[in-house]
Amino acid sequence: MTGSLFVISGPSGVGKASVLKVLLTKCSDLFYSISMTTRAPRQTPQGTVEENGVDYFFVSRSEFERMAAQSEFLEWAEFNGNCYGTPRVYVEELLKAGKSVVLEVETKGAGQVRAQMPEAKLIFLVPPSMEELQDRLRGRNTENEAEIAMRYAIAKEEMETAVLYDYQVVNDVVEKAADQIKDIIDVVTLSKSS
Ligand code: 5GP
């Protein structure tokens, strides 16, 4: 039996990385697919710098374009001037081996996954309010004002796609949101194996 694929999206600043981090500690048999990006590594809210092969695989635009041309991405999209993509082989091999995999992608990429793998479960992480989202974007101190404004504008557009997802989870408290996503994953994987 093939494994299950879960996709998590949500506007910039909603806390996807924090929720995923907690989720992965709760689901020891869930594999996270590290994305590729042409964006430069940035400071984390903890004050360290993102690491290659941990947070992302950081590649040049020419390398990214070569991979895209050779269909090496399961999905990819441009977001705020940079490219982001999910390397296909890693995900496909894990699924074939019966493992569950989680991706964190923006909304256009989620649509591409749905088109190719209709059985994938799409989860949208929602902020408690748009004011709170703006506060979180500012509070993480990882982008300048112009970047924050761009990300907030994209966030408003992304929020309109939330209804297309199978599940919406409000990220009010990280631990609670991670628990809710774990419940979704448990139900989906259990119903598949019974
Ligand atoms: P950030 O620059 O904040 O790390 O990411 C910007 C956006 O790109 C976020 O919405 C994030 O979920 C999304 N993203 C990260 N990895 C991927 C990926 O592999 N594919 C796509 N389509 N989006 C991604």
pLDDT, tens digit (0-9, with 9 covering 90-100), for 51-110: 999 999 999 999 999 999 999 999 999 999 999 999 999 999 999 999 999 999 999 999
Q: How far is the CA of 4 from the centre of ligand 1 (A)?
A: 21
Ligand 1, pocket-test mutation among 21, 84, 154, most atoms within 8 A of CB: 84
Q: Model pTM?
A: 0.95
Predicted pLDDT at 194: 76
Tell me: the pLDDT tens digits for 103-131?
999 999 999 999 999 999 999 999 999 99
Tell me: the pLDDT tens digits for 161-184?
999 999 999 999 999 999 999 999
Predicted pLDDT at 193: 80
Which residue, by CA, sits nearest to atom 9 of ligand 1? 106
Nearest one of 128, 120, 136 to 86, comparing CA atoms: 120
CA 121 to chain centre: 13
Q: Which two tokens stand for residue 39?
A: 């964006």
Predicted pLDDT at 21: 95
Predicted confidence (pLDDT) at residue 139 exceeds the cutoff of 90: no
Predicted confidence (pLDDT) at residue 192 exceeds the cutoff of 90: no
Q: How far is the CA of 53 from the centre of ligand 1 (A)?
A: 15
Which residue, by CA, sits nearest to atom 14 of ligand 1? 105
Nearest one of 126, 189, 178 to 21, comparing CA atoms: 178
